[in-house]
Amino acid sequence: MQTNHRRHPAPSAYASGAWYRPMLARRADEEHRTASALELLFDLCFVAAVSQASSALEHEIAAGRSLDGLLGYALLFFAIWWAWMNFTWFASAYDTDDVPYRLTTFVQITGALGMAAGAADAVGHGDFTLITWSYVVMRLAMVTQWLRAAWTDRERRRSAWRYASGILVLQVGWLVRLTLPHDGGLVSFAVLAACELAVPVWAERAEGTTWHPHHIAERYGLFTLIVLGESVTAAGLAVRSALDTGEALGSVLTVALGGILTVFALWWLYFAQDAPRRLRTQATAMLWGYGHYVVFAAAAAVGAALAVNVAHATHHAGLSDVQAAATYTVPVALFIVCVWLLHRRGARLPLKADVLSPVAACAVLATTFTTFAVPATGIIATLLIGAHLVAARRDAVAP
């Protein structure tokens, strides 16, 4: 982790919205560093895109087009996650909260709303035109931010230039991709996405940027919280619709209860970790950031899956029991395993405690072949939390 030794205003001074400040790197050990009101607005607008992506996935699965829907969802979610993540890490290092910074962030928020508008066409019809243009708008705004940083932060100018130039070149590639035949779309997406992932690795090999471990952990935690909340909202709307029709009330309420137990357990599992303690090196930071693609995508998919299973319970989804169950058990298992992998590095847990999460994930997957997958998943996730609490208590009282 890089440390910035230049003088900075007091943390509270960043909240005043001055007309202009030199974009110098903020200290990585700054006290009382929390998410700003602008960052919270940014997250809420991005969650609108997540919500629309989840809704489009639900529609495709319920219509029997699961594979196409999942592919479109995965591609769309990459664009949402990557744009959000790049802003988050940049803001941790260079949030000046002056007028140019705020206006540039508003441009990125506008791009996120464009993504929300184009989510249904992307997931349902493979039409990424609006998504691509919205993404490019957001990324060009990031180029502007990095150029500001390169102009005023001489200590990290090479890193800032690498970020700006790498992002700019790739945006040309994304626009060129729109002109390619449909058959080349997936290959070109994979190539461009891999290059996007490589830009931070290349840029940070220069001077590196300053990022605040507690600030980063809080930002990721808040976004996870909001996405899980969207899952609850999506499930609530599906249950409300089922209750209005009066069909299969017992089955619907059982699915709803299982979903509530699952979401509560996933929240507990995620926030039981000491994330800032893990974020000590650039390598762990990269793994943390990139690994959250699965965490965020799986959390959002849980909401879509709950809605699908409510529709299945009321015989409004053209899926078999196993197919409906798999839409729910797979994202839950992915969430559990990914959180376990992100936090186990350096945790030095006893073997019995370390295997709890993978065993629970396997048990969740096994419920796919039952007729009560959603409530069983909720019970297993709840038992996982209980087992972790018992293991933690035993460690606390051990001599």
List per-block mean pLDDT (blocks of 10 residues) for the chain, which spans 399 residues: 43 58 86 90 93 92 89 95 96 92 96 95 92 97 96 93 97 93 80 96 90 91 90 74 69 86 94 79 85 95 90 79 94 96 70 84 96 94 93 66
Between CA 45 and CA 59 the distance in angstroms is: 22
Q: Is residue 327 part of a domain?
A: yes
C-alpha distances (whole Å) from 357 to each of 100, 171, 244, 265, 302 are: 45, 39, 38, 12, 18
- Residue 19 token pair: 């007309």
Residues 223 and 87 both lie in one domain: no
Looking at residue 310, which CATH number applies to its domain? 1.20.1410
Domain limits for position 322: 213-397
Residues 217 and 354 both lie in one domain: yes
Among candidates 91, 79, 6, which has minimal Cα distance to 41? 91
Among candidates 288, 298, 307, 309, which has minimal Cα distance to 333? 298
Each residue of 273-282: pLDDT tens digit?
A: 777 777 878 8
Residues 320 and 172 both lie in one domain: no
C-alpha distances (whole Å) from 350 to each of 153, 223, 341, 356 are: 45, 30, 15, 10
Question: Is residue 87 within 8 Å of residue 41, measured between CB atoms?
Answer: no
Between CA 54 and CA 73 the distance in angstroms is: 8
Residues 196 and 301 both lie in one domain: no
Each residue of 2-31: pLDDT tens digit?
A: 444 444 444 444 445 578 888 888 888 888
Residues 120 and 197 both lie in one domain: yes
Question: For the chain, what's the residue count?
Answer: 399
Between CA 90 and CA 180 the distance in angstroms is: 32
Q: Please state the domain count of the chain.
A: 2
Q: Is residue 2 part of a domain?
A: no
Each residue of 238-266: pLDDT tens digit?
A: 677 767 766 667 788 888 889 989 999 99
Among candidates 314, 315, 87, which has minimal Cα distance to 220? 87
Question: Is residue 52 within 8 Å of residue 300, measured between CB atoms?
Answer: no
Q: Is residue 31 part of a domain?
A: no
Last residue of a domain, one of 169, 204, 239: 204
- Residue 69 token pair: 């829907």
Residues 111 and 150 both lie in one domain: yes
pTM of the model: 0.89
Average pLDDT, the chain: 87
Between CA 93 and CA 211 the distance in angstroms is: 5
